[in-house]
Structure 1
Amino acid sequence: MIDALGELRAAQPLAVVPLALALFLFLVNGARLAWIDARTHLLPNRIVFPWYPAAFLLLGTAAAAAGDWGALLRLTLAGVALFAFYLVLHLIQPNGMGLGDVKLAGILGMYLGYLSWEHLLLATLVTFVLGGVFGVLMIAARRATRKSSIPFGPFMILGSGAALLVAG
């Protein structure tokens, strides 16, 4: 996403402001949600729901200002796709994936889709690897069992943040 800002600054300066604001929103809401989820195992709707229109408006404006209609379509489809993927996981194992994670996935999908489908796949892979490693370490340290629940939101945010840093 940082690379996208640099490229837009040179090619389409009007697109820089909404993209920078979207990135700032990711950092603020991501940090808040990761902290809350780590402590309470909850991703509050009062933070998640308003983030949807804000992210769509900012990312969509950046895409439109840059004339990148593919990014607008991709961010929409990626948000729906990641939401649907997490929803399927929740339906298969409701105790393994919470609805808060499902709701957060749609937003993260928009950010990742703005860049590319590859960013979406990379973030998903990194998220599950981080969550899996954490789970194994918790079991090895005897702080959890295979049946223990772990807050997955922080790993979703870290995985997405890491993918957003990767150049496209």
Structure 2
Amino acid sequence: MILFIGDLMTSGSGAEFLAGALLLLGGAIFEVCAVALSFIDLTEHRLPNRILYPWAGVTTGILVLVALLLGDLPGLLRGVAAGLLWGFVFLLVRLVHPPSIGMGDVKLAVVLGLYTGFLGWVTVAAAVVLSFVLAGVVAIILLITRQADRRTRIAFGPFLIIGTALALIGS
């Protein structure tokens, strides 16, 4: 993502520069929302709609503008599809086994899917895998050190956010 934004902003095209600036704005919004949601999830085990819904709306708006500026309708459609797919899979998990994942995580997955899907399916897959691997490693460490047992609730939102951030940075 960093190289992509750099290429856009140094291309010499006004439209590409503006698209790069919008993506930088989207990244800044990602950071602010990610930090706030992570702290809330770690302390309260919830991801509030008052942050998630505006974040989803602003992200969608930014990606629509970027897609128009770059003529990248497939990227926008892929982002929407990735968000809906990731959210749908999480919703299915929630419906099958409610204690395993919260509705906040379902909604967060939609927002993160928008970001990653815009860049491509490889980025989506990387974000999902990194999120689960990071959560798994931390869970194992907590179990080994007896700081948690199999009934301990572990906030998943921060892992979704960190895994997605790493995937976006690596793209």
Shift of the alpha carbon at 1:17?
2.0
**Aligned ranges for residues 115-134 of structure 1 at < 5 Å?**
115-134=119-138
Can you list the C-alpha shifts for 1:2-59, whole angstroms capped at 9, x where unaligned? Answer: 1221122115212122111111110110111011111111111110111111000012
**Aligned ranges for residues 26-65 of structure 1 at < 5 Å?**
26-65=30-69
* Runs of 4+ that moved beyond 6 A: none
Give the root-mean-square deviation of aligned CA atoms.
1.0
Shift of the alpha carbon at 1:65?
0.6
- Separation (CA, whole Å) in 2 of partners of 1:3 and 1:85: 30
Question: How many residues end up aligned between the 2 structures?
Answer: 167
Structure 1 residue runs without a partner (length 5+): none
- Separation (CA, whole Å) in 2 of partners of 1:104 and 1:56: 13
Secondary structure at 2:147 match in 1? coil
Establish whether residue 4 from structure 1 lines up as the match of residue 8 from structure 2. no
- Separation (CA, whole Å) in 2 of partners of 1:72 and 1:44: 26
Partner of 1:23: 27
- Separation (CA, whole Å) in 1 of partners of 2:129 and 2:156: 13
CA contact (8 A) 1:8 1:66 kept: no
Establish whether residue 163 from structure 1 lines up as the match of residue 167 from structure 2. yes
Partner of 2:145: 141
- Separation (CA, whole Å) in 2 of partners of 1:20 and 1:67: 18
- Separation (CA, whole Å) in 1 of partners of 2:163 and 2:64: 22
Secondary structure at 1:42 match in 2? coil
Percent of pairs identical after alignment?
38
- Separation (CA, whole Å) in 1 of partners of 2:150 and 2:64: 41
Secondary structure at 1:143 match in 2? coil
* Larger RCO: 1 or 2 (CA < 8 Å, sep 6+): 1
